[in-house]
A and B are shown apart, each in its own frame.
Chain A
């Protein structure tokens, strides 16, 4: 099953040397603290808050429109700090998500309109169904699907999830093609 081509307006996206495609309409605050490891697609109207803490995103990730990636904060006895957010490789974050997680592993699929609570940890090869709300500090084990509000264990994923996610994100990137706008 091959994905169809998705076209974007060439003027609207910036393509970096390592192949990241970042929409000009997305808001990357504190871009010096945001690390994109290559071949990542960030679509329009996303908000990535690198000003609060470091954000590290792996290779071949896709962050769809209007998602908010924001590092979580933790209260210490001596004050408050925002924790760095690590996102692994081949992660597909769909539209309208709010991600406050402390760490997202690799090969993770987050469905649309989900809210990932503060300091959640999503291990590799997990999936979050659309419209889920994960309460703060949830740990999602590998090869599981969480759904509902509050997010609860809903099912298991097969062992080939890793290859499926690699295929999905790689194909998405390859089919994400620019067209020069006809003036």
Chain B
């Protein structure tokens, strides 16, 4: 089944587009205050994740937040970044600020905070207490097996949101 699996217990506010095969666990929070959020395919958004497009008083127009494919947002991470590429992993309790942009294949380790105004290059790993960085040889593997498993069992235990027609809101 290609569609996304979004539990009703996840909190979704605002104009959000979620690609197919994405799994949003219960208690995830996706808040589109300052503009729409577009989430790509095959992403995994776990519990207590906060993906927020904050309303920015300095930018009068709404800015779209774009998230690519095959990303993993582990439990409790906060993500405000406006552009996230593909195959990234944001680990538990990590924080990505609004000014940062993730390209592809990055791993933001647990508890790390990345707030600087920069584009994090491909295949970077940020880890440890001091947010040390290094470049890894290959990108993190896409979690297709886990996504398949979740798409099979989450509907057994949770009510899922139905896809809304694109015109109505």
A-side residues, CB < 8 A to B, are 27, 29-30, 47, 49, 51-52, 66, 68, 70, 73, 75, 79-82, 96, 98, 100, 113, 115, 117, 131, 133, 148-150
User: Of the candidates B92, B149, B157, B158, which one forms a contact with A98 in the assembled complex, judged by CB atoms under 8 Å apart?
Assistant: B92
Instruction: List the A residue with the shortest CB-CB distance to B91.
Output: A115
Q: How far does the Cβ of A46 sit from chain B's closest Cβ, in whole Å?
A: 10
B26 and A29 contacting across the interface, CB-CB below 8 Å: yes
A133 and B47 contacting across the interface, CB-CB below 8 Å: no
User: Of the candidates A30, A49, A75, A131, which one forms a contact with B111 in the assembled complex, judged by CB atoms under 8 Å apart?
Assistant: A131
On whether A133 and B110 interact (CB within 8 A), knowing A29-B26, A51-B158, A115-B93, the answer reads yes
Let me know if B120 is at the binding interface, CB within 8 A.
Answer: no
A79 and B145 contacting across the interface, CB-CB below 8 Å: yes
Let me know if B29 is at the binding interface, CB within 8 A.
Answer: no
Interface on chain B toward A: helix, strand, loop, or mixed SS? loop
Let me know if B129 is at the binding interface, CB within 8 A.
Answer: yes
Q: How far does the Cβ of B58 sit from chain A's closest Cβ, in whole Å?
A: 32
Let me know if B146 is at the binding interface, CB within 8 A.
Answer: yes
Let me know if B168 is at the binding interface, CB within 8 A.
Answer: no
Q: How far does the Cβ of B9 sit from chain A's closest Cβ, in whole Å?
A: 7
Let me know if B164 is at the binding interface, CB within 8 A.
Answer: no
The contact string, 1 if C-beta is below 8 Å from chain A, for chain B 9-52, is 10000000000000000110000000000000000000110000
B47 and A47 contacting across the interface, CB-CB below 8 Å: yes
B149 and A81 contacting across the interface, CB-CB below 8 Å: yes
User: Of the candidates B48, B111, B129, B145, which one forms a contact with A68 in the assembled complex, judged by CB atoms under 8 Å apart?
Assistant: B48
On whether A82 and B111 interact (CB within 8 A), knowing A30-B157, A68-B47, A98-B93, the answer reads no
Let me know if B76 is at the binding interface, CB within 8 A.
Answer: yes
Which residues does chain A contribute within 8 Å of B149, judged by CB atoms? 73, 79-82
- Give B109-151 interface residues, CB cut-off 8 Å to A: 109-111, 128-129, 145-146, 148-149
A51 and B146 contacting across the interface, CB-CB below 8 Å: no
Which residues does chain B contribute within 8 Å of A115, judged by CB atoms? 76, 91-93, 110-111
A29 and B158 contacting across the interface, CB-CB below 8 Å: yes
B93 and A68 contacting across the interface, CB-CB below 8 Å: no
B75 and A68 contacting across the interface, CB-CB below 8 Å: yes
Instruction: List the A residue with the shortest CB-CB distance to B153.
Output: A51
Which residues does chain B contribute within 8 Å of A133, judged by CB atoms? 92, 109-111
Which residues does chain A contribute within 8 Å of B109, judged by CB atoms? 133
User: Of the candidates B110, B146, B154, which one forms a contact with A80 in the assembled complex, judged by CB atoms under 8 Å apart?
Assistant: B146
Which residues does chain A contribute within 8 Å of B146, judged by CB atoms? 73, 75, 80
| Separation of A80 and B146 alpha carbons in the complex (Å) | 6
Let me know if B156 is at the binding interface, CB within 8 A.
Answer: yes
Which residues does chain A contribute within 8 Å of B157, judged by CB atoms? 29-30, 51
| Separation of A96 and B158 alpha carbons in the complex (Å) | 24
B47 and A70 contacting across the interface, CB-CB below 8 Å: yes
Which residues does chain B contribute within 8 Å of A27, judged by CB atoms? 9, 26-27
Beyond the given pairs A51-B158, A115-B91, A115-B111, 6 more chain A to chain B contacts, judged by CB atoms under 8 angstroms and listed by A's residue number, are: A27-B26, A51-B157, A75-B145, A79-B149, A98-B76, A133-B109
Which residues does chain B contribute within 8 Å of A29, judged by CB atoms? 26, 157-158
